[in-house]
Amino acid sequence: MSAVGYRATTRWSPIFANEWIQISLLLAPLGAAGAIFLGWLTPFGVGIYVDSLYYVTSARNLLAGIGMGRVTGLGIYKPMTHYPPFYSMVLALFERCGMPALDAGRWISISAFGLSIILAGLIVYQVTRSKVFSLLTALLVICSNVVLRTFSWALSEPLYIVLLLLSFFLLGVYLQALNRRWLVLAAVSASLALLTRYVGFAPAAALSLALLSDRRFSWARRLTDAVIFLSIAGAPTMLWMFRNWLVSETLANRSITWHPISTENLQFLAKTLISWGLVPQRLVLGHESLAFGIIAGGLAAASAIWLILAWPKSGQAPQTEFLLLCASWLYAGLLGVSLSWVDSTTRLENRILLPLYLQILILIMIGAAYLWQRKRLVFRLAAAGMCLWLLYFSITRLNGAVVDLRSDGQGYASQRWQNSQTLAYLREHETSIIYTNDVTAVYFIAGKDSVAIPNAQASSEDLDLMRSKLSISNSYLVLFGQLTGEFTPLERLTDDLTPAYQFSDGVIYLYNPKP
Burial 217-247 (b: 16+ CB within 10 A, else e): eeeeebeebbeebbebbbebbeebbebbeee
pLDDT at 8: 37
β-sheet with 506-511: strand ranges across? 451-452, 434-436, 476-480, 506-511, 497-502
Mean pLDDT of all residues in 350-371: 96
User: Is there a single domain that holds both residue 344 and residue 226?
Assistant: yes
Q: Does some domain include residue 27? A: yes
Q: Does some domain include residue 5? A: no
The closest of 211, 241, 240, 215 to 228, measured between CA atoms, is 211
Residue 196 has pLDDT above 70, yes or no: yes
User: Is there a single domain that holds both residue 433 and residue 364?
Assistant: no
pLDDT at 515: 62
pLDDT at 282: 73
User: Is there a single domain that holds both residue 147 and residue 207?
Assistant: yes
User: Is there a single domain that holds both residue 401 and residue 459?
Assistant: no
Residue 25 has pLDDT above 70, yes or no: yes
Q: CA 416, CA 396: separation in Å to the nearest integer?
A: 29
Mean pLDDT of all residues in 186-193: 98
Residue 11 has pLDDT above 60, yes or no: no
- Please identify, among 350, 384, 407, the residue that sits at the C-terminal boundary of a domain: 407
Mean pLDDT of all residues in 348-357: 94
Domain tally for the chain? 2
pLDDT at 2: 37
Q: Does some domain include residue 308? A: yes
- Please identify, among 407, 431, 463, the residue that sits at the C-terminal boundary of a domain: 407
pLDDT at 244: 95
Q: CA 438, CA 443: separation in Å to the nearest integer?
A: 9
Q: Does some domain include residue 2? A: no
User: Is there a single domain that holds both residue 398 and residue 433?
Assistant: no
Give residue 13's pLDDT band: very low, low, confident or very high (50, 70, 90): low
pLDDT at 10: 43
User: Is there a single domain that holds both residue 292 and residue 334?
Assistant: yes
User: Is there a single domain that holds both residue 176 and residue 308?
Assistant: yes
Q: Does some domain include residue 439? A: yes
Mean pLDDT of the chain: 92
Residue 9 has pLDDT above 70, yes or no: no
Residue 284 has pLDDT above 90, yes or no: no
Q: Does some domain include residue 465? A: yes
Residue 46 has pLDDT above 80, yes or no: yes
Give residue 253's pLDDT band: very low, low, confident or very high (50, 70, 90): confident
User: Is there a single domain that holds both residue 375 and residue 430?
Assistant: no
Mean pLDDT of all residues in 338-360: 92
Q: Tell me which of 216-220, 281-285, 435-439 is least confident.
A: 281-285
Q: CA 324, CA 438: separation in Å to the nearest integer?
A: 40
- Percentage of residues in the chain having pLDDT higher than 90: 85
Burial 10-37 (b: 16+ CB within 10 A, else e): eeeeebeeeebeebbebbeebbeebbeb
pLDDT at 291: 87
- Please identify, among 407, 430, 461, the residue that sits at the C-terminal boundary of a domain: 407
Higher pLDDT, 7 or 311: 311
Question: Chain-centre distance of CA 211, in angstroms?
Answer: 26
SS3 486: coil
User: Is there a single domain that holds both residue 462 and residue 360?
Assistant: no
- Percentage of residues in the chain having pLDDT higher than 70: 96
Q: CA 337, CA 400: separation in Å to the nearest integer?
A: 34
The closest of 324, 78, 343, 65 to 197, measured between CA atoms, is 343
Give residue 15's pLDDT band: very low, low, confident or very high (50, 70, 90): low
pLDDT at 514: 64
Q: Give the pLDDT confidence of 132-175 residue by residue, as tens digits.
A: 999 999 999 999 999 999 999 999 999 999 999 999 999 999 99
Q: Does some domain include residue 412? A: no
User: Is there a single domain that holds both residue 434 and residue 319?
Assistant: no
> Which structural domain range is residue 432 located in?
419-511
Mean pLDDT of all residues in 183-211: 96
Give residue 1's pLDDT band: very low, low, confident or very high (50, 70, 90): very low
pLDDT at 68: 94
Q: Does some domain include residue 227? A: yes
User: Is there a single domain that holds both residue 324 and residue 455?
Assistant: no
Query: How large is the angle between the packed helices 219-248 and 180-194, nearest 10 degrees?
Result: 30
Residue 18 has pLDDT above 90, yes or no: no
Residue 7 has pLDDT above 70, yes or no: no
pLDDT at 14: 56
Mean pLDDT of all residues in 445-467: 94
Mean pLDDT of all residues in 297-325: 94
Residue 426 has pLDDT above 80, yes or no: yes
Are 244 and 252 within 8 A, CB to CB? yes
Task: Please tell me what DSSP assigns to residue 286.
Answer: T
Q: What residue ranges in 142-259 does DSSP mark as E strands? A: none
Q: Give the pLDDT confidence of 496-507 residue by residue, as tens digits.
A: 999 999 999 999
User: Is there a single domain that holds both residue 432 and residue 394?
Assistant: no
